[in-house]
């Protein structure tokens, strides 16, 4: 069967965005996976394109060089034209090979499995300090501000060489950049402020290099100041928005799945697998990853025309019963095989994934051990969910113990 782009006579389908359960992607994804795995969609900026929902197809789209990452970041519900074109220098998530390769190669040595394991004691120390402060405050506290956000933020600041003392401003700017309903002016202002901040740091590190990634990149002599700034902004945003939300949302999810929480408390050796399962189950890059076809591509019998936008849904792929045969709609911390798509796939697969794993393990292990009676301090339906953000999670998580 061959489908073409939707015509004016067909009802326009838009990407599902409304959740009925805080931990599940919108229910429509299941229907799409079963009935229309490559579905014509109209996206918020008016572009016609395709939504891909099955595990195997998501991997195909993200690993096939005929699909380009240049078009930009998906912001459903966001205002039109909010992503500048061309992207700022150094924003390597919006580049294709070989341009992308040049940036990726400069950074991969900083995020290896071994390097992140060596970093674990330092992460554990940061985690313990946050838990001490939390315990001293007594409950209830907002777990996001007290724990989930400071950990990755402190770690990425340390790694990158960004002063954590400046966190209030860059955390606010970062949140504006990933918020869907930021106006184009707010978006540009936040991005400009972030670039100005990192640009000053780049200049400072050129004068006085220290022991951090930004200094090493400066000294490598491979990148212009503009490119260094773009890389710095990207790592700073990616370094804390994602992991902070995985820590907070994972905690909420475990508290709402007491049998799974009990299993994890009873056998801490399950933690490595539990982290993979939480990544799969929660899939916080909630609207998927956007690509553009560089030529006509056939996918599942559909002709995807050159120039068409394709959105690969990571959260839908991670619930695909064809791939995860054993009840993927359920959280199972003891699940044995979890090759999930939470970090994406292809050449853009998350550079910081080993750091994210190290932070999640350290944070969740210590939190569960330190607070055996941890519980939500408000009814579950009063927890403000991040439906309005590119990165899903909770805005706040009031907890007590």
Partner 1 sequence: MKILIDEGKCVGAGTCVLAAADVFDQRDEDGIVVLLDADPPHTSLPQVRDAAARCPALAIEVVE
- Using CB under 8 A as the criterion, which residues of the chain lie in contact with partner 1 when the complex forms? 62-63, 104-105, 108-115, 337, 339, 343-347, 349-351, 353-354
> To 10 degrees, the CA torsion angle through 116, 117, 118, 124?
90
Least Cβ distance, residue 58 to partner 1 (angstroms): 12
DSSP state of 146: I
Query: Smaller CB distance to partner 1: residue 318 or 354?
Result: 354
Nearest alpha-carbon partner for 133 in 397, 396, 370: 370
In what helix (H) or strand (E) does residue 121 lie, and over which residues does it extend?
Answer: helix 113-137
Compute the least distance from the CB of residue 287 to partner 1, in Å: 20
Q: Which of 352, 349, 345, 303 is nearest to 323 (CA)?
A: 345
- Which one, of 124, 175, 134, 180, lies nearest residue 154 by Cα? 124
Q: Which CB sits closer to partner 1, 146 or 299?
A: 299
Nearer to partner 1, 17 or 353 (CB): 353
Cα separation, 29 vs 379, in Å, equals 27
Q: Which residues are bridge partners to 287 per DSSP? A: none
Distances (CA, A) of 322 to 53, 239, 316: 12, 32, 12
Decide whether 115 or 305 has the Cβ nearer to partner 1.
115
**What would the two tokens of residue 301 be?**
């019998």
CA distance 209 to 193: 23
Nearer to partner 1, 56 or 158 (CB): 56
User: Measured from the CB of residue 51, what is the shortest distance to partner 1 in angstroms?
Assistant: 21
Closest approach, Cβ 347 to partner 1, in A, equals 5
Residue nearer to partner 1 on the CB measure, 270 or 347: 347
| Least Å from the CB of residue 112 to partner 1 | 4
CA angle 23, 69, 148 (to 5 degrees): 35
Closer residue to partner 1 in complex, CB, 82/276:
276
Determine contact, residues 306/295, Cβ cutoff 8 Å. Answer: yes
Apex CA 169: angle with CA 220 and CA 383, to 5°?
115
Q: Is the dihedral of CA 163, 166, 167, 172 positive or negative?
A: negative
Residue placing its CB nearer to partner 1 in the complex, 39 or 235: 235
Q: Based on DSSP, count helices (H) and strands (E) in the chain, helices before strands.
A: 14, 10
Sorted by sequence, the CB contacts under 8 Å of residue 168 that are 6+ apart come out as: none
Distance CA 262, CA 251 (A): 13
Q: Of all helices (H) and strands (E), which one includes residue 168? A: helix 167-178
Q: 218 or 252, CB closer to partner 1?
A: 218
Minimum gap (Å) between residue 336 Cβ and partner 1: 11
Minimum separation from the CB atom of position 309 to partner 1 (A): 21
- Residue 282 — φ and ψ, nearest 5°? -95, -30
User: What's the min distance (Å) between Cβ of 69 and partner 1?
Assistant: 13
The distance of closest approach from Cβ of residue 350 to partner 1 in the complex, given in angstroms and rounded to an integer, is: 8
């Amino acid at each position: 069967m061959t489908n073409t782009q939707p015509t004016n006579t067909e009802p326009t389908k838009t990407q599902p965005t409304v959740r009925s359960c805080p931990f599940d992607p919108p229910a429509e994804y299941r229907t799409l996976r079963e009935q229309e795995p490559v579905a014509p969609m109209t996206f918020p900026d008016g572009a016609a394109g395709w939504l891909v929902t099955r595990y195997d197809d998501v991997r195909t789209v993200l690993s096939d060089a005929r699909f380009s990452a240049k078009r930009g970041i998906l912001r459903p519900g966001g205002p039109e034209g909010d992503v500048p074109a061309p992207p700022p220098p150094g924003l390597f998530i919006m580049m294709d090979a070989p341009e992308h390769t040049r940036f990726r190669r400069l950074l991969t040595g900083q995020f290896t499995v071994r390097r992140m394991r060596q970093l674990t004691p330092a992460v554990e120390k940061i985690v313990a300090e946050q838990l001490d402060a939390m315990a001293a405050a007594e409950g209830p506290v907002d777990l996001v501000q007290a724990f989930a956000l400071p950990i990755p933020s402190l770690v990425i600041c340390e790694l990158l060489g960004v002063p954590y003392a400046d966190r209030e401003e860059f955390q606010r700017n970062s949140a504006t950049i990933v918020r869907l309903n930021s106006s184009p002016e707010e978006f540009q202002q936040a991005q400009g402020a972030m670039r100005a901040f990192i640009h000053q740091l780049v200049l400072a590190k050129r004068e006085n290099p220290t022991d951090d990634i930004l200094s090493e990149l400066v000294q490598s002599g491979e990148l212009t100041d503009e490119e260094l700034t773009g890389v710095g902004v990207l790592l700073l945003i990616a370094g804390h928005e994602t992991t902070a939300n995985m820590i907070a949302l994972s905690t909420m999810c475990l508290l709402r799945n007491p049998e799974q929480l009990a299993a994890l408390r009873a056998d801490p050796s399950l933690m490595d697998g539990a982290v993979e399962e939480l990544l799969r189950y929660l899939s916080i890059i909630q609207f998927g990853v956007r690509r553009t076809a560089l030529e006509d591509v056939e996918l599942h019998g559909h002709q995807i025309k050159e120039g068409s936008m394709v959105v690969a849904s990571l959260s839908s792929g991670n619930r695909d019963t064809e791939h995860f045969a054993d009840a993927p709609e359920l959280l199972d911390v003891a699940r044995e095989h979890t090759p999930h798509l939470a970090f994406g796939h292809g050449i853009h697969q998350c550079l910081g994934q080993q750091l994210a794993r190290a932070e999640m393990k350290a944070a969740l292990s210590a939190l569960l051990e330190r607070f055996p009676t941890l519980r939500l301090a408000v009814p579950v339906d009063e927890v403000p969910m991040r439906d309005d953000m590119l990165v899903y999670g909770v805005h706040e998580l009031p907890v007590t113990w």
